[in-house]
Amino acid sequence: MLLAAAAAGCGGSTTRPTPVTVPAPSEQARRDVAGRFAVAVLRAEADRARALLVRPDEEALVFLVRRAVAHWRRRKATIHLPASRTGSRWAVRYSGKRTFRDGRFEIERGALVVLIGRSRTGRARVRFFAFTRVERRFSTHQDAELLPSKR
């Protein structure tokens, strides 16, 4: 029994492997990813936006990306880059216009707020996003031409 106990303790390593630390992405890299993600969403490019997610196969985030992209398919957006930092988030301001066949139009303004994380390889990627301070204004071509408040 003594030999079995001695044999069990011999040859084994008690040291644990040291974890590999991946450096955090730079502020410029996080700003760049936030801007590229906003451009992809507001230009209705779902595949490009999905590629910038921390986990591109996470169903909930992919659903939100597709939903946001669908909203911008028939709209033209102006994107105000570079992204500005607000705490741990990055905000990209935008404005967009959608014109209907009967002359009505809708103008939307707001900010796309992006929360940046890092992937397993240490690259900056999108963890979550949301539209904030969204303002919509509906009008018609006739209103813009005739109403004194629009002059």
Token pair in block for residue 62: 């992919």
**Four-point Cα dihedral 128, 66, 54, 24, nearest 10:** -60
Give the pLDDT confidence of 96-113 residue by residue, as tens digits.
988 888 878 889 999 999
Give the pLDDT confidence of 48-78 residue by residue, as tens digits.
999 999 999 999 999 999 999 999 988 889 9
Domain extent, residue 85, equals 25-150
**CATH number for the domain that contains residue 72:** 3.10.450.50
DSSP code of 27? H
Q: Is 47 part of any domain?
A: yes
Per the structure, how many domains does the chain have? Answer: 1
pTM of the predicted protein model: 0.77
What lies within 8 Å, CB to CB, of 32 at 6+ separation is 124
